[in-house]
Structures are given as structure tokens and as C-alpha cells.
Amino acid sequence: MRGLARRNPPPHALLLLITCFALSLGTVSPETETEVLLQFKGNITSDPNNVLSSWVLGRDPCNFTGVSCNDAGFVEKIVLWNTSLAGVLSPALSGLGSLRILTLFGNRFSGNIPSEYGGIQSLWKINVSSNALSGSIPEFLGGLLNIRFLDLSDNGYIGGIPPALFQNCSKTRFVSLSHNGLSGSIPGSIANCLHLEGFDFSYNNLTGEIPSEICGIPSLGFLSLRSNGLSGNLEQQISECLGWNHLDLANNKFSGSAPFGFLELRNISYFNISHNSFIGQVPDLSLCSESLEFLDASWNDLGDKVPFSISSCSSLKFLDLSFNSISGTIPVTIGSMKELWVIRFGNNSISGTIPNEIGDIELLQVLDLQNLGLVGEIPQSLSNCRFLRELDISGNLLDGEIPPTLYNMTYLEVLDLHRNRLNGTIPETLGNLSKLQTLNLSQNSLSGPIPSSLGNLQILKHFNVSYNNLSGEIPAVPTFQAFGSSAFSNNPGLCGPPLDVACSGTGGGAVPSKRKPKVLSVSAIVAIVAAALIITGVCVITIVNFRTRRRKVDNNEVEIVESTPLGSTESNVIIGKLVLFSKTLPSKYEDWEAGTKALLDKDCLIGVGSIGRVYRSSFEGGVSIAVKKLENIGRIKNQDEFEQEIGRLGNLQHLNLVQVQGYYWSSSMQLILTEFIPNGNLYDNLHGNSSYPGTSSRGGAGELYWSRRFNIALGTARALAYLHHDCRPPILHLNIKSHNILLDENYGPKLSDYGLGKLLALLNNYGLTRSHTAVGYVAPELAQSLRVSEKCDVYSFGVILLELVTGRKPVESRGPSEVVVLCEYVRMLLDSGSASDCFDRRLRGFDENELIQVMKLGLICTADMPLRRPSMAEAVQVLESIRNGLEP
């Protein structure tokens, strides 16, 4: 019998066998992939837009919303961005062996990336930015050999950047870890990413120096490290980093000579070194890159002058050298830079005149030359900049007349000429600037009347002509009347409303107005008495109908019957309505049977707010609430509107807001019930304990060490950002002061008295001016014209920041005739180089640079012009960027 010969399979058959075996291990069938995706869906806890409604059993997964497949029918892409999905990421996705792209940015996923994802070797793009992921950066992502794009930005990651993240990154092109809470240094292992084209680690808490190894990455061009705590000297690295095109180092702690050598790199287009401690001067720029479009070196300590060779940067669109110590004059060669959109030279020591040549920059949109030493007249040629939106040349020594041709700048939104020596009259043609929102001509020597044409400026938000020599009657147009008397004050010849100065009959002068007292006629008195009798009859009938009603309405409303004092002129029975939002409060009638007067025990008074007194009330079981009693009850006339507004506040939920827990309404009393915050308010803790009997004992400023103060600033900023940006419509506070920032048991901040702006309106504006008498906290535009915007809150928040850093009150008196305004005091010391003299001497164990950065933010927030203040969202970002181990 012939033996069987053992034969080897042919090579092509062996290859086929290996391929099939690999596929059997690396991929799953479409039916199984459906199960994987449904497991992913099962981890979703919220899908408000029903994005995953097509993800159902029995349907081809390639037809699921956001899912794409390759030619073989296997899932290759999952793209679900800005869909508001919430939940945790399912480990089951590791079963998708062909998955190349996972894009989930702009959702609300929490937790962290499952470790099972480290086995999806086919992945080359992961984008989970703008979610709520937390924990440490997963090290296993460094084992994904094919990853090209990794974006974990805008989450809640903390800890250091693991060096292992860059252990196998030879194919990686871009990495973003920005807007997290990362700390520590930038690992040198990033140099392993030899094909890296850019990385963004901005808005974290990173420290240390930039690794020198990154200049060895040949393709690196994009580098963003703004808003961290990085330090060191960069000048030595310039010669090795030849390919960079985008360099953003703003808001760090870099020092030494400013690295202007980067401006000579052939590809550099964006250069931002603002808000650091660089010294030196702007060098000769004859070799400036033709690609450079953005140059910001503001808020440093640069000196000398702006070189004439700046014009070599012919492609420049944005130029900001403000807040330095630059002297000399504005180079006339700047007029040849035809591409410029923004010029900011303000707050330096520059002198001389405004070059006529600036008028040749036709595309210019912003010209900021404030607080310099400029002399001469305003050039007529500026009118050629017809796209200009902001012209600020305030705080100089300019004289002459305001050019009448400024009306050519039809896009102008801000015209600030205050604090100069301008004379002549206000041009009628300014009334043609229909887009103007800010017009400040105060503190000059202008004369003549106020042109009636200015009444055509319908969207004007800030207007001031005070401290001039204007005369005549103020035009009787609503636009002017809304700004109040302060906008026209200190013009001896002006008369008419809103000034309390009457115009003479001949129009030749002004005389103080005398108002004749009004006397009621006999018929009017009879009518009032008759009306009072009718109202009394209605009240008596109502009392008879409801005297015995004591019942609970719905699940959160309680009717309460109260008796008034026997000697009162009112009825001796009052029916009240109590509405509770919180389930933690007693909800039975018996718990509230004692009536509202039991809630207002004078021995439990804890404060006096802008519209009423605040009491502490306690129930059995240790539950305490704060009760605010609104004053002047006769001015509240609409119960439905009151309930609607307080009901809206009851729906707001934020860690740093005092929670509104209910309200009470009766014909004689209105109460707002909120959670009780045990450690009092920030003002008392900073400046001295409260004398109110119901307040808790506290440790005062000694308990407010720097880390706690920083957290108070950050928490307050987050609360305001929530009110401004997350609420629809936005909620303005308009009464921010340290009295309204309460401190919980851990000295965490709780913002109170928010959302009362509309409530005050319902009170017929009662308390409006009273709420704005928080001296030192009120934004100039609010004090002068009652023009409100979110920037009013930003200003007040800036004062809070300065209060936290200095420990001083917003306004202090050093004698009978000397008043110190905190904003001005800090700005003066900072300009003189004595910033440390501002610090609260009671503080211990702090980083001086952190205090300076917070102080600078406070000064930016308290800028005179609203447009120069950041939004609260931006303020939160800045505070988070300088947060380095500040947790208590």
C-alpha cells in the first residue's frame, strides 16, 4: 500500500488562511456590531434630540444615525457631535475592529474613556472634546499605534500629562488637551511624535519650562500654551525652531528678553506673548516674516520705542503693544501697513502727535491710543478709515476741535475722546453715526449747545458730555433723558431735564427749578374716600368667605390664616399663599400654622439686603432657611407676575447659587425663602464680623487664606457665567457686592440676590437706586445712565477680585476730605511697579504671581468702557488658567 505523502499548502493558500484567521479575530459580523452599538446606546441616559432613535434591533447598523461603514460593511466611523447625549462611554465599542474615527465632541459624556478602547488598534482619530469626562488622561491611548488626531479638550481632566501618552506616536499629527485642569510639566517624550504638526495644551495649570526637545520635531508648526503657569527663557530656543507658524504663549510666567526673533521665521503668522513678564524692546523688524498677521505683546514690561521698521511686517492685521513702558512716538511708517485691522498702543509712555498717515489704512477697524501723552489735533485724515468701529484716543493732551468729517466712519460703534483738551463745539454730523453705542466727550473744554442731531443715535448705550463748557437747553429727546443728570453735570450753562436746572424764559441762562407743591381739591378727596369705602366692603366680604379656610393646595402650596394686631386699621384676618420648591422643607399646614410672623423673629435677623431684611428660621429636625421680607408692600401690585418671576428663580440649579426654596404671598407681606448659608457673607469675613443677632460665629479674615479666596473668586465667576450664558433669557444680577456672596461650611461661595432685576421692576422700580448704592461696585454706565448689560456684572466682579487680593473695601475714607477708590488705588500702585504693596498683609503662603494675575484680571474687568471688559465665560477661563494647586 502506497504511503500518503505529507504535502505543504501552497504559499497563496497559506496567506489566505492567515488573512481569514486575522479577520476572524479582528472583526465581528455586522449582526454582532449591531449588538455592540445597542450596548453603546444602552449607556446613554439622556438623548433630548432623539438622535439615536434609528438605533434599533433588526436594522442595518450602517444606516444608524452618525454611523458609517467601509466597503466590507463593517462600522468605520461614529460621528455624533453637538447632540447633547449624556451618559458614560460603553466599553463595548472595543468590539468594533474596523473603527477608525470616533467623534463625540459637544456632548455630556461623563466618567472616563474605557480602558478597553486601548485595543482598538484601527483608531486613527479620537475627538471627545467638550464633554464632562474626568479623572486622569488615560495612558493606554499612547499604545494606539495608528492614532493621527487626539482631542480631549474642554473636559475635567486633572493630574499630569502622562509621558506614556507619547510612547508610540510616530503617526500622530495633532493633540489637544486644552481647557482642562492638568498640572505638572510638559513631558519631553512628546519629541517622539516626529510627524506632529501641532499641539494645544492651553488653559490648564501646567508649570515648568517648554521642553527643548520639541524644536527637534521637524513638522511642528502650531503651538498653543496660553493661560498656564509656564516659565523660563525662550530666547535660546529660537534658532532651532524654524518651522513654527503659530505661537501662543499668552498668560504665563515667562520672563527674560521677549523672543521677538520668532518674527523672522519664514512661516510665522501668529505670535502672542501677552500677559507675561518679558522685558527688552521691540527690535528692528526689517526681516519680519511676510506671513505675520497677528502680533500681540501687550501686558509685559517692554521699553524703548516702536521701530520705524514695523512697516516691514506688511501682512500684519492685528498689532497690540498696549500696557507696556514703550516711549517715543508713533512711527509714520505705520500708514503703509494697508492690511491692518487693529492697532492698540494704549497705556504706554508714547508722546508726539497722531500721524496723519494712519488715515491711509482704509481697512482699520480698531484704533486704541488711550492714556498716552499725545498732543496736537485729531487728524482730519482719520475720517478716511471708513470701516473703523472703535476710536479711543482718551486720556491724552489733544486740543483743537473735533473733526466734523468723522461722520464718514459709518460703522463706528465706540467714540471715546474724554479727558483731553478739545475745544470748539460738538459737530452736528456726529448724529449721522447710526451704529454708535458709546460716545464719551467728557472732561474737555467743549462749548456751545448739544446738537439735537445726537438724538438720532437710537442704539446709544453710553453717553457722557460732563465736565465741559456746554450751554443751552438739553434737547428734549428720550435718548438723552435716559442717561440721567450725571452725563451732563458740570456744564454751568446747560439747563433743562434731566438736570434740575430750569432754562430762563429768554433762553439766555439757567435758573434753579422750583416746583409748586400739589394740593388736592375737595372733589378729589371725596373720590378717594368713596373708593376706600368700596375697597373696605370688598375686603369684608372676602374675609367672611375665607375665614375658616385652612387647607393645603396641590403638593407645594399652603394657605395660612393670620391675625393682625387688634389696634391695626387693617382687617384682623389675612389669607396667605405659601409655595415651596424644596422637598426638604416641611410641607404640612401644621408646620407653618404659627404664621409668617414666627419666621421673622428679630432675634434671628441675619442681614439687611437691597430690598428687605433677612431672617433665619429653624424647624424641627435641624432644618434652617433664610427668609427675605420685601419692604414697602404697597408697591407690589401684581401677584401673578411676582409668582412667575420667583418660580423661574426656583428652577435655577448651580453649585454656587443660593437656592430659592419657595415664597409667601399675602396682601400685607411678601417673603422669599432660600437655603440658609452658615458662614455669613464675604464682606463680614473680610472686613469684620456682622453685628446681626442671627448670624453664625466665624473666624473672619484669618479663615480666608489665599486658596479659599481664589476658590471664592472662581465659584462666583462660574455662578455669573451660568446666569449670563446658560440661562435663557440671560439673567443679570446688577447688585454684585461682597455682602451678596455667602460662604458655606467649607467657605465655598454662594451668590445670592440674583434675578431680582425684574422683581424690582415689578415693584415699580422701588429699591432700584437703593440697590445701586453699593458704593464702589457699580459700573460707570449704570451709575450715569442706568444702562444695563452683562458687563455691569463684570465690572462689579472685578471689584470683588480686587477686594479679595487687597483685603480692602471698595471705597475707604482716610479723612474728612480724602476718599480712596480701590480700583484707582490698585491701578496706581501697579503702574508704579509696587504691585506687592496692594496685597492683604494677613495673607500667608501664596504665590505672588498668582495674586498679580488675579489683580490684573480685576483691573481688566473694571475698565471704564464696557466693550473692553471680558465676558464672565472668559473670566472663568482666565481664572482656571492661573489655578495652580489652589485647592484648600
Is there a contact between 173 and 195 (Cβ–Cβ < 8 Å)? Answer: yes
Cβ–Cβ < 8 Å for 307, 282: yes
Give the separation between CA 344 and CA 302, rounded to whole angstroms.
14
Pairing of strands 811-815, 749-751: unpaired
Helix axes 848-861, 706-721, angle to 10 degrees: 30
Q: Cα angle vertex 408, ends 403, 413, to 5°? A: 90
Specify the amino acid at residue 578: L
One-letter amino acid for residue 867 of the chain: L
pLDDT digits (tens, 9 = 90+) for 282-339: 999 999 999 999 999 999 999 999 999 999 999 999 999 999 999 999 999 999 999 9
**Strand 149-151 with 749-751, pairing:** unpaired
Q: What is the pLDDT of residue 20?
A: 39
Q: What is the dihedral angle through the alpha carbons of 836, 837, 838, 842, rounded to the nearest 10 degrees?
A: 90
Q: How confident is the model at residue 113, as a pLDDT?
A: 97
529: how many CB neighbours lie within 10 A of its CB? 9
Residue 8 has pLDDT above 50, yes or no: no
**Average per-residue pLDDT for the chain:** 81
**Which cell is 535 given?**
375697597
Q: How many CB atoms are closer than 10 A to CB 523? A: 8
Say what the pLDDT of residue 417 is. Answer: 96
- Residue 545: pLDDT above 70? no
Alpha-carbon distance of 31 to 40, in angstroms, equals: 15
Beta strand 132-135 pairing with 156-160: parallel
What integer pLDDT is reported at residue 759 of this predicted model? Answer: 56
Peptide bond before residue 498 is cis, with ω within 30 degrees of 0: yes
pLDDT value of position 26: 42
Tell me the average pLDDT across 619-637: 67
How many angstroms separate the CA atoms of 188 and 186, rounded? Answer: 6
Q: What is the pLDDT of residues 353-406, one digit of tens each?
A: 999 999 999 999 999 999 999 999 999 999 999 999 999 999 999 999 999 999
pLDDT score at 416: 95
E strands of 774-873, at which residues?
Answer: 811-815, 818-821
DSSP β-bridge partners for residue 367: 343, 391
Per-residue pLDDT, 786: 62
What is the rounded distance in angstroms from the CA atom of residue 887 to the CA atom of residue 482? 45
Q: How do residues 413-448 score in pLDDT, each as one tens digit? A: 999 999 999 999 999 999 999 999 899 999 999 999
User: Which parts of 222-303 are beta strand (E)?
Assistant: 222-224, 229-230, 246-248, 255-257, 270-272, 277-279, 294-296
| Per CATH, domain 576-676 is 1.10.600.10 | no
Cell of 147: 492614532
What pLDDT score was predicted for residue 580? 83
Q: How many CB atoms lie within 10 A of CB 401?
A: 14
User: CA-CA distance, 298 to 313, in Å (whole number)?
Assistant: 17
pLDDT value of residue 605: 80
Tell me whether the omega of the peptide bond preceding residue 729 falls within 30 degrees of 0, making it cis.
yes
According to the model, what pLDDT value does residue 665 have? 79
pLDDT for res 142: 94
Q: For the residues 53-78, what does the mean pLDDT come to?
A: 93
Q: What's residue 233's pLDDT?
A: 84
Average pLDDT over residues 219-232: 92
- Identify whether the C-beta of residue 321 lies closer than 8 Å to the C-beta of residue 297: yes
Looking at residue 571, its pLDDT comes to 39
| Residue 564 in this model has a pLDDT that exceeds 70 | no
Q: What is the pLDDT of residues 847-878, one digit of tens each?
A: 788 888 999 999 999 988 888 899 998 899 88
**CATH 3.30.200.20-classified regions of the chain:** 576-676
Match 369705602 to its residue by C-alpha cell.
533
Distance CA 659, CA 744 (A): 12
125-184 pLDDT, tens digit each: 999 999 999 999 999 999 999 999 999 999 999 999 999 999 999 999 999 999 999 999
Q: Are 132 and 157 in contact, with CB atoms under 8 Å apart?
A: no
With beta carbons less than 8 A apart as the criterion, state whether 717 and 876 touch: yes
- Compute the residue count for the chain: 888
Query: Identity (one letter) of the amino acid at 808?
Result: R
Report pLDDT for 757. 64
Residue 534, pLDDT > 60, answer: no
Return the exposure string of 359-394: e unless at least 16 CB atoms fall within 10 Å of the residue's CB, then b.
Answer: bbbeebbbbbbbbbebeeebbebbbbbeebbbbbbb
Grade residue 821 by pLDDT with cuts at 50, 70 and 90.
confident
Give the pLDDT band of residue 520 (cuts 50, 70, 90).
Answer: very low
Quick one: pLDDT at residue 117? Answer: 96
Report the 10 Å Cβ neighbour count for 108.
17
Nine-digit cell string for 849: 504671581
What's the pTM?
0.59
Q: For a pLDDT cut of 90, what percent of the chain falls above it?
A: 52
Strands of 238-361, DSSP E: 246-248, 255-257, 270-272, 277-279, 294-296, 318-320, 342-344, 351-352
Class of domain 679-690+702-887: mainly alpha
What are the start and end residues of each CATH 1.10.510.10 domain in the chain? 679-690+702-887
Q: What are the angstrom distances between the C-alpha of 120 and each of 93, 125, 187, 694?
A: 8, 11, 25, 61
Strands 612-618 and 624-630: antiparallel
Q: Please enumerate in sequence order all residues whose Cβ is within 8 A of that of 525, keeping only pairs 6 or more positions apart, or say none.
A: none
Q: DSSP string of 732-765?
A: ------GGGEEE-TT--EEE-STT-HHHHHHTTT
Is 529's pLDDT higher than 70?
Answer: no
Cβ neighbours for 879, distance < 8 A, ≥ 6 positions apart:
710, 713, 714, 717, 854, 857
The Cα–Cα gap between 339 and 331 comes to 16
Q: Which residue has the cell 396641590?
A: 554
